[in-house]
């Protein structure tokens, strides 16, 4: 590609800063625009596995991430009185070298690793995209405009870049029939070093509490026939969640109060993004914007990091962006397919649809039958022949 291509990345969470890190080291000029007024905090624990760990090591951020790693040791299922009815150690899913960190901690580490080489613009977003031969004209919501050689959407499930320039959300989104909510709550909830979950048919409420962190994370999931009918405004989201868990026992009433009072409260449909192409012309997508596997896959953050590294390598090695985008897709699609399939196991295990299925899940867990089966599904894409390393040639 030309000397010092100008690249706009929309999104400053995980995929965006990772891509910016690698492109900056190849001489690209990077601008990252983020709609939020500051770096987003909050979010549940995310797993870094396999190649993503090697990429973090090559970036020099692995020591910081290990210092911030959570200490969750078990999934514990409880009844309405809080008594344990089933559970499994989280080591069931781990391989040597895997780590889990809070999403907000990971975003901060990646931002700190790139802030000296990248122009970050918070509190703004992409409003219009026009491709004109060798350049992309971008209009911003703040009223300014600029030309870039490439535009990359790393702006998540509801990607504005994807909707404007690649594929509409109605065509790309595939809801899994489950609603999901999360928020930060006090550590008075839950058990230290555990994920505590309470099920009723088609619903689960839980607390994720790392003893190394000052706060806990509440989460709720519920089976639903809604697809694109989820409200976008906060008050309607809170009303929906309260309706779904109105008959909640255990600690659900207090947990609902705490979660819905939190400024970082989030609710949406559990949705995968599946697309025939992750790019169009000089506009490409990475991370959840292109191939969201959902939280139930346990691999969204790792997939964002792997995809960003593969895309950066392809762009650095190719003379034209369309060639680079094609190489990136060919390399990553098999991994994406495997990790999206694993989301079905997560949904079945965490949100059984009936009382009978809840009892079966609990029984299989107590008999130590379910943990190995679940672990096998989450590891289905593991490369053979030794430890996972960065999958391409770029090095810091």
Task: Identify whether 259 is part of a domain.
Answer: no
What pLDDT is recorded for position 249?
A: 92
Task: Identify whether 149 is part of a domain.
Answer: yes
Q: Is 290 helix (H, G, I), strand (E, B) or coil?
A: helix
What pLDDT is recorded for position 394?
A: 61
| Terminal alpha carbon distance of the chain | 20
What pLDDT is recorded for position 2?
A: 54
What pLDDT is recorded for position 381?
A: 44
Query: How many other C-beta atoms lie within 10 A of the C-beta of residue 287?
Result: 31
Q: Which residues contact 138 (CB under 8 A, 6 or more apart)?
A: 8, 126, 128, 129, 130, 145, 146, 147, 148, 151
Task: Identify whether 237 is part of a domain.
Answer: no
Q: Return the CATH number at 150.
A: 3.50.50.60
Task: Identify whether 392 is part of a domain.
Answer: no
Q: Can you tell me the distance from the alpha carbon of 270 to that of 202, in angstroms, rounded to the nearest whole number?
A: 14
pLDDT along the chain (396 residues), means of 10: 85 98 97 96 85 96 95 92 90 72 95 97 98 94 97 97 97 94 93 94 95 91 82 94 92 96 93 97 98 90 97 95 97 94 81 93 74 46 37 52
Q: Is 307 in contact with 286 (CB distance < 8 Å)?
A: yes
Q: Match 């999360």 to its residue by tokens.
A: 182
Task: Identify whether 138 is part of a domain.
Answer: yes
Supply the range of the domain harboring residue 121: 6-71+93-172+272-348
192 backbone dihedrals φ, ψ, rounded to 5°: -60, 125
Which pair of tokens denotes residue 333?
């699609």
How many folded domains does the chain comprise? 1
Task: Identify whether 286 is part of a domain.
Answer: yes
Comparing CA positions, the residue from 100, 178, 162, 106 lying closest to residue 343 is 178
What pLDDT is recorded for position 257?
A: 97
Task: Identify whether 239 is part of a domain.
Answer: no
What pLDDT is recorded for position 96?
A: 63
């Amino acid at each position: 590609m030309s000397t010092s291509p100008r690249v706009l990345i929309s999104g400053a969470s995980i995929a965006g800063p990772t891509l910016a890190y690698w492109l900056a080291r190849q001489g690209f000029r990077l601008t990252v625009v983020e709609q939020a007024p500051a770096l987003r905090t909050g979010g549940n624990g995310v797993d870094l596995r396999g190649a993503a760990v090697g990429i973090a090591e090559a970036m020099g951020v692995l020591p910081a991430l290990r210092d911030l790693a959570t200490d969750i040791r078990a999934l514990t299922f409880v009844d309405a009185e809080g008594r344990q009815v089933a559970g499994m150690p989280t080591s069931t899913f781990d391989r040597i070298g895997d780590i889990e960190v809070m999403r907000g901690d990971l975003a901060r580490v990646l931002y700190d690793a790139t802030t000296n080489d990248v122009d970050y613009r918070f509190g703004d977003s992409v409003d219009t995209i026009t491709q004109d031969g060798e350049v992309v004209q971008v209009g911003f919501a703040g009223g300014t405009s600029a030309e870039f050689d490439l535009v990359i959407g790393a702006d998540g499930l509801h990607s504005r870049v994807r909707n404007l320039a690649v594929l509409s959300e109605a065509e790309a989104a595939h809801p899994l029939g489950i609603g999901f909510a999360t928020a930060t709550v006090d550590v008075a909830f839950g058990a230290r070093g555990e994920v505590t979950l309470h099920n009723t048919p088609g619903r689960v409420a839980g607390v994720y509490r790392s003893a190394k962190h000052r706060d806990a994370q509440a989460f709720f999931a519920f089976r639903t026939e809604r697809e694109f009918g989820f409200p976008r405004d906060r008050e309607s989201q809170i009303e929906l969640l309260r309706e779904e868990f109105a008959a909640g026992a255990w600690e659900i009433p207090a947990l609902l109060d705490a979660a819905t009072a939190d400024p970082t409260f989030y609710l949406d449909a559990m949705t995968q993004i599946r697309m025939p192409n992750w790019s169009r012309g000089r506009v490409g997508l990475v991370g959840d914007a292109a191939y969201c596997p959902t939280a139930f896959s346990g691999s969204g953050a790792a997939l964002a990091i792997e995809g960003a590294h593969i895309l950066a390598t392809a762009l650095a090695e190719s003379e034209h962006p369309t060639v680079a985008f094609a190489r990136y897709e060919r390399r990553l699609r098999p991994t994406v397919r495997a990790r999206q399939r694993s989301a079905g196991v997560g949904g079945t295990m965490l949100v059984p649809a009936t009382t009978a299925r809840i009892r079966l899940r609990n029984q299989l867990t107590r008999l130590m039958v379910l943990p190995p089966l679940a672990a096998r599904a989450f590891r289905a894409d593991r490369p053979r022949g030794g430890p996972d390393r960065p999958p391409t040639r770029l090095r810091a």
